[in-house]
Amino acid sequence: MYQEDKNFTLRFSLEARFPDDYEGDDDDLAWTRDWEAHIKRDMIKAVFESLRRTPGWTVHTRNRGKSPDDEIEIVLERDFSKPPSFSL
């Protein structure tokens, strides 16, 4: 079977600023907890809900060996190898 693919990257860079007397990593990156617990989770859920509403496409994640803390690959797939379904 012949397959084509295209990549699209939407990258989020998280940044935090601290006062000059901050010693660095004292808080074990506590400022990222809100991102992990709420923002990232809700964003991924919203993306999947939106993509699943698109007819003719299926969506799933794929692991390329990176930690899901650092990367989540979302695969949006369309299969033209099957005859189209008819609806009345």
Residue 85 has pLDDT above 80, yes or no: no
Q: What predicted TM-score, i.e. pTM, was given to this entire model?
A: 0.71
For the record, the structure tokens of 78 come out as 């369309």
Extended strands (E) in the chain: 58-62, 73-77
Structure confidence by residue, pLDDT tens digits, 2-42: 999 999 999 999 998 988 888 777 678 888 988 999 999 99
**Residue 28 gets which letter from DSSP?**
T
> Where is 48: in which H helix or E strand?
helix 40-52
What pLDDT, on a 0 to 100 scale, did the predictor assign at position 27?
76
C-alpha 56: how far from chain center: 20
What is the pLDDT confidence band of residue 82, given thresholds at 50, 70 and 90? confident
**Residue 59 gets which letter from DSSP?**
E
